[in-house]
Amino acid sequence: MKLYSQEAEFYGAASLVFKKNKRPCVFKATWMHGMAPTFRDNPHSDVLLHYDEKDLPLHLVNNQKTVNMLSNEGITSIAVGMPYIYTDAFSNKKRDNVIHRRMYMPPHSIAGVGQADEYYSWKRILEKYNCDSICLASKDYENVASQEIDFGEVKILKGAHAADETSLARISEMFFSTDEMLTNVSGSHLPYAAASGVRVKIIDEIHEFYDSRMRNNYASKIVNSAPKKNRKSFTKHLQNNRANEIVEVWGKPGMTVIQEYSEYLLGIVHKRKADEIMRYLTPNNELQKLNLGSRIFFNKLGRRLGL
């Protein structure tokens, strides 16, 4: 019986390899699911790894560059690629059924930061760029439904939620049936989409969005959600307006360059067999299981107590 969730199962990662096999009640390793940290040069391990699980004996990461960065801090990791590349849709790589001609992917809510006041600006973007669909993270998806926000004929697609085990499988199927994705924010969706053959376009509204984040001190809200000992690293990671940087990397190169860069970020060449990932994630014995489980529990408890 599991007492809490871990990074290795966020968005359904563990289910991609365990499938119908019984999962351990505690995982021995983390499995990196977010790509945003790797968009920066030399991010600290406080940002790369989940603070509740940083002291686990092993960490599964995207590529060898990340392995080397963590090694410099004395942290053991193995490059196995991102969970996204283990989905059936990505493994099959069939793009013969395009359903969404032009999809808008807006920012999603993080650390309880609400954005209901942004919904109508999203509607303007949908109209301006003639989009036929919008993908919303689950919190916004539910809010839009409950508030009956009218996006006209635009199809509203359900994005990811950390506790939803179907998230990665659903997102990969969505991208493999999408021709073009428009977005005004950085995040995992950029390499996920590009590596899946989607044409990625950074829209001009990215400057407006990041200017708003800076004015509203968005970074401090994210930083304050982390334990005190990690906040210095998070502040350094989030302190700058990144709009120009994102446009420079994702807005200018041709499709081939973006796709190759995305495949590198996702660590496609490091993909392992499912049973190997299962072995990395499974504790060696009952004693290790008890040790790891109690360690993570007290880390989570300490964070809730503000330590």
Tell me: the pLDDT tens digits for 45-56?
877 888 899 999
* Residue 137 contacts residue 161 (beta carbons within 8 Å): yes
Distance CA 306, CA 212 (A): 28
Tell me: the pLDDT tens digits for 148-167?
888 889 999 999 888 899 99
Tell me: the pLDDT tens digits for 171-182?
999 999 999 999
β-partners of residue 297 are none
pLDDT of residue 111: 46
Say what the pTM is: 0.88
* Residue 85 contacts residue 266 (beta carbons within 8 Å): yes
Domain ranges of the chain: 7-86+269-304, 94-265
How would DSSP label each residue in 87-101? SHHHHH-------EE
**Quick one: 118 exposed, middle or buried, by C-beta within 10 A (0-12, 13-18, 19+)?**
middle
**Quick one: 220 exposed, middle or buried, by C-beta within 10 A (0-12, 13-18, 19+)?**
middle
Q: What is the CATH number of domain 94-265?
A: 3.40.50
| Pairwise pLDDT comparison (217 vs 74), residue with the higher score | 74
* Residue 258 contacts residue 194 (beta carbons within 8 Å): yes
